[in-house]
Amino acid sequence: MKKRVLVTGGARGIGRAIVEELVRFGYDVVATHYKTDDLVKGAQYLRVDLTDRGELDKFITQVGNREPIDVLVNNAGLWLGKPFEKTAKAELFEQIDLNLAAPTRLTHGLLPLLKKAEAPLVINVSSQAAHPIFPGEAAYSAVKSALSTLSNVLRTELNPLGIRVTTFEPWGVNTYGIKEPSGMVLPSELAKIVRYVIELPGHLQLDTVGISHIKQYRGGYPDWIEK
């Protein structure tokens, strides 16, 4: 029997590619969406605003009343690419709420459900932005760094309970459909590695997964950042 996987942000970008990959291989996929109705056939979608704490709590209760979850993929996120000074206060809070608060609260709230699974796994989609210092990514880098740190600490706490924790820290992923060659990882390529991690034996985990295109941009002021 294939595992049951919950993927946040499963209608677009990396999340959609993960959902498509898992559905293709027969997984039981539940995914969240919010701003689009263009959904992947074969997956069960639940609409929820992950930045709304009330909605998030209701969602956790709704999912908690269902069958156990084998894998939680905290994927939903927001990238803006603006200098800190030009970032609106609402945009700062949205990045914190979606990129950090939501995966933290989801993992905490769904732990009882995960503990019922045979070999549960939490995957947090962070970023290489957690490490380099790129202009235009101050808030994004801060929350992704916090998410990676959360994963590292949770690993020490949850591994003794049989719960595995894997952090994905990809370099640039082409979620906007830039024409190749772009020097970026394709969402479908990243999704294949996610499936590989899910299919590892229950006693194994990849702690941190980093992946990049060999032509990946790695320094200086990016052309795509507003100056």
Structural domain total, the chain: 1
Burial of 3 (0-12, 13-18, 19+ CB in 10 A): buried
204 or 65, greater pLDDT: 204
Task: Identify the pLDDT of residue 223.
Answer: 62
Q: How far is CA 62 from the centre of its chain?
A: 20
Tell me if 220 is assigned to some domain: no
Tell me the residue range of the domain where 98 lies: 4-209
Whether the bond into 181 is cis, omega within 30 of 0: yes
Tell me if 136 is assigned to some domain: yes
Which H/E stretch holds residue 28? strand 28-33
How do residues 171-186 score in pLDDT, each as one tens digit? 888 887 777 667 889 9
Tell me if 222 is assigned to some domain: no
Residue 205: give its domain's CATH number: 3.40.50.720
Tell me if 225 is assigned to some domain: no
**Biggest alpha carbon distance in the chain?**
52
- Residue the block writes with tokens 């109705």: 37
Tell me if 219 is assigned to some domain: no
Tell me if 221 is assigned to some domain: no
- The band of 64, judged by pLDDT with boundaries at 50, 70 and 90, is confident
Among the listed ranges 14-23, 31-40, 151-160, which one has the minimum average pLDDT value? 31-40
161 or 68, greater pLDDT: 161
Tell me if 162 is assigned to some domain: yes
Tell me if 217 is assigned to some domain: no
How do residues 24-52 score in pLDDT, each as one tens digit? 999 999 999 998 778 999 999 999 999 99
How do residues 102-128 score in pLDDT, each as one tens digit? 999 999 999 999 999 999 999 999 998
Residue 63 to residue 59: CA distance in whole angstroms: 6
**Is 30 in contact with 97 (CB distance < 8 Å)?**
no
pTM of the entire structure?
0.92
